[in-house]
Amino acid sequence: MHRNGIHHVTTIAGPARRNLDFHTRVLGLRLVKKTVNFDDPTTYHFYFGDGEGRPGTILTFFPWDNVAPGRLGIGETQETVFRVPEGSIGYWTHRFLEKGVAHDSPVKRFGETVLPFRDPDGMRLALAAVPGIGDEPAWDNGEIPAEHAVRGFHSVSLLLEKAAPTGAILTDVFGFTELAREGTVTRYKAEGTDVGGILDLREAGGFLPGRPGAGTVHHVAFRAADDAAQAAMVERLAQNHGIRTTEQKDRDYFRSVYFREPGGVLFEIATDEPGFAVDEPAGSLGQALKLPRFLERSRPEIEAVLPEVA
Ligand code: ZN
């Protein structure tokens, strides 16, 4: 079995309750973990995903009440795209109209129908219609019929001054191959990976650099099956590309290293192990506030400052 491609995408959001409502109720993702930003425990860290919280389905948010909007630009993630079954674009267009979700008309990209939309912070998301995935398991949020529900990530697109140096990292370190080109976009596919297996690199000279803030992506994480696979990637980065990563950090649900890729986007390499069921039952993921052990004794103070979201 192949275990490569996107692990998760982490983003910056405005108010927590609005973020939670949109991604669980409107988009129908499962909240698979409610924890805090380990580096700033006064802030939530929400993980949304499929029923089991599998790698390749995880969109995460740091919601801040008073964060300035970011600006899309060079060296940043442009859009995060989810997979939906081929016949579901009509359902979703209707749903976005009904729920007042900002969206564009469906477009064709690389032969697929794609419906771009934005979350309440203006972050660029999209749904791609993928044939033959209707039988894949889907999270039932009680409102969206399973036949139309989101099935994990389709792709992430990066806005870059030059695509080739980033492409070299994708192919040499993360097991992607160049698949096709359309206009200024080069599409890379992770060998054998259907969920979260595509990176689109868009070359756009002359843009201003991106500015972090609400509605922007903080980093994109790629999968490593385990510590040994991650260590091998770290070594390839150093030997073939002269890039040093951070020390490994224990994120409780995976173990991570970080580096800035040549185009300026923050990349992470996250292990598939141990996953989100490590500290609560799979059936009740996301219901209780989970804290890393080093913060557990501060739980009363942390709970007192976190905004009410239930
Ligand atoms: Zn991450």
For each of the chain's 310 residues, which pLDDT tens digit applies?
Answer: 568 999 999 999 999 999 999 999 999 999 999 999 999 999 999 999 999 999 999 999 999 988 999 999 999 999 999 999 999 999 999 999 999 999 999 999 999 999 999 999 999 999 999 999 999 999 998 999 999 999 999 999 999 999 999 999 999 999 999 999 999 999 999 989 999 999 999 999 888 888 999 999 999 999 999 999 999 999 999 999 999 999 999 999 999 999 999 999 999 999 999 999 999 999 999 999 999 999 999 999 999 999 988 7
Q: Give residue for tokens 């040994």.
A: 228
Six-digit token string for 26:
């409107």
- Distance of CA 219 from the midpoint of ligand 1 (Å): 6
Q: Which residues surround ligand 1, an ion (CB under 5 A)?
A: 10, 221, 268
Distance 274 CA to ligand 1 centre (A): 14
Q: 221 C-alpha to center of ligand 1: Å?
A: 6
Q: How far apart are CA 273 and CA 254, in angstroms?
A: 5
What's the full length of the chain, in residues?
Answer: 310
The pLDDT, as a whole number, for residue 207 is 82
CA of 275 to the centre of ligand 1 (A): 13
What is the structure's pLDDT at 206? 81
What DSSP element (H or E) covers 117? strand 112-118
For residue 115, what are the β-bridge partners?
Answer: 127
HSE of 48, CA atoms in CB hemisphere, 13 A: 27
- Find the 32 Cα to ligand 1 centroid distance in Å: 15
Residue 303 Cα to ligand 1 middle (Å): 23
Q: Would you call 92 helix, strand, or coil by DSSP?
A: helix
Q: How far is the CA of 79 from the centre of ligand 1 (A)?
A: 17
From ligand 1's centre to the CA of 273, what distance in Å?
14
Q: Which CATH code, of 3.10.180.10, 3.10.25.10, 3.40.710.10, 1.10.1050.10, is assigned to 6-305?
A: 3.10.180.10
Distance 90 CA to ligand 1 centre (A): 33
Query: What confidence score (pLDDT) does residue 3 get?
Result: 84
How far is CA 125 from each of CA 104, 117, 164, 210, 259, rounded to the nearest angstrom? 11, 5, 24, 17, 24
Please list the alpha-helical segments (H only) found in the chain.
16-21, 89-99, 164-173, 227-241, 293-296, 299-305
| Radius of gyration (C-alpha) of the chain in whole angstroms | 18
Please give the backbone phi and psi of residue 169, each rounded to the nearest 5 degrees, phi first.
-70, -45
Residues in CB range of 109: below 8 A, 6 or more apart: 128, 182, 185
Integer CA distances (angstroms), 259 to 33, 119, 220, 270, 299, in order: 25, 27, 10, 12, 31
Pair of tokens at residue 273: 């192990």
Q: What is the 8-class DSSP label of residue 308?
A: P
pLDDT at res. 2? 65
Ligand 1 centroid vs 9 CA: distance in angstroms? Answer: 7
What spacing in Å lies between the alpha carbon of 189 and ligand 1's midpoint? Answer: 21
The pairing of strands 58-63 and 6-13 is parallel
Residue 80 exposure: Cα atoms within 13 Å on the Cβ side: 29
Dist. CA 251 → ligand 1 center (Å): 8
Question: Whole-prediction pTM value?
Answer: 0.97
- Answer for the pair 246, 101: CB distance below 8 angstroms, yes or no: no
